[in-house]
Amino acid sequence: MSVETPETGVLDAGAKAAVLAEALPYIRRFWGKVVVVKYGGNAIEDPQGLTLFAQDIVLMRSVGMRPVVVHGGGPQIGELMTRLGKVAEFRDGLRVTDAETLDIARMVLVGKVNRDIVGAVNVHGPLAVGLSGEDAGLILVSARDPELGFVGEVQAVNPTIVERLLAQELIPVVATIGSDEAGQAYNVNADAVAGAVAAALKAEKLVYLTNVEGVRRERDDPASLISTTSTEELEELLTEGRVAEGMIPKVVSCVRAVRAGVGHAHVLDGRVPHALLLEVFTHEGVGTMVSR
C-alpha cells in the first residue's frame, strides 16, 4: 500500500488514517505480548538507524507490547581491538577470545554499545534498562570449544530479572556476555542468546534485524526471498547448504525458538527505515516470517 503523495512524498491525512487503521488489529493482537528483538552490531554503527530503531521500540512499548532488546557488537569489538594493536583471529566464523579479548568484548558490549542503545531509547522517556547476561544469572553458559577460549555456549536462561523489568513496564536491553557456574564470563553469540531468551520468556515474536532482506531460497539470489516459511523448510535449507554462513546462526535460532514455544520468528533487513514496525503492524511485512 502506497502511503505517500506523488507530489510531496508526505503522508496526507487519508493515508495517515489508513496506516493507523491497518495497524489497529495488530495492536490489539499483540497487546501485552513479549517481543524479543536482536539488534546487530552492524546496524548500531549507523546513528540515524539507531534513532529510528529506538523510535520503533518505544512505539511498540507505547501501544502495549513488551519489547526486549538483545544486541551484539562484533564490528565495535573489532574496531577497538585494532586500535589497541590486537589482531583478531576467527575459527568457523567465531572470534577466538583470550582473556584480553574478553575484557575488550565486555568493555564494548556492556560499557559502550549497551549504553548507546539505552541512551537512544531513553530520549523518549525513562524506559530502557541495560543488562548483561551476567546480571542476576540471566545467561548461564559453558565453554563452547577450548580452542576458542572464552566463547560461551548457552546452557540456560533465567528470565527472572527480565520479567521483573517488564512487569514495571520497562524495556530490558541485554548485552550478550554470559557466565558459567563459577562466575567466569564468556562472550556469547548474540543470535543464540536472542533465541534462548525468547524461548525462556515464551515470547510472541523473535525478530532478527540484519543486513539482508531476509532468508533466501538461493543464498546469492535476492529475488528468492522467502516471505513465509516453516521450521521444516528451514531445516531442509540448512541440510542442503543453501543458507549463507552469516545467516546460519539466525536460522538455527529461529527453528529452536519456534519449536520451544515462540509464536513466530522474523528475519528483517534492519537497514530499511522502520522495518520493525512494517513487519509487525502491516499485512505484507518486509522480511521472512517463520512459523511452526
Largest CA distance in the chain: 63
| CA distance linking residue 274 with residue 113, whole number of Å | 20
Dihedral pair phi/psi, residue 34, rounded to 5°: -85, 135
- CB 172 within 8 Å of CB 233: no
Catalytic: 38? yes
Catalytic: 72? no
Catalytic: 33? no
Residues 6+ apart with CB under 8 A from 137: 158, 179
Set 74, 149, 214, 270: catalytic member? 74
Catalytic: 250? yes
Secondary structure letter of residue 97 according to DSSP? B
Residues 6+ apart with CB under 8 A from 217: 224, 225, 226, 237, 242
Set 38, 130, 195, 269: catalytic member? 38
Catalytic: 191? yes
For residue 9, give the 3-state DSSP assignment.
coil
Set 250, 263, 269, 287: catalytic member? 250
Set 40, 41, 149, 195: catalytic member? 41
Set 130, 191, 214, 263: catalytic member? 191
Active site positions, annotated: 38, 41, 74, 191, 250
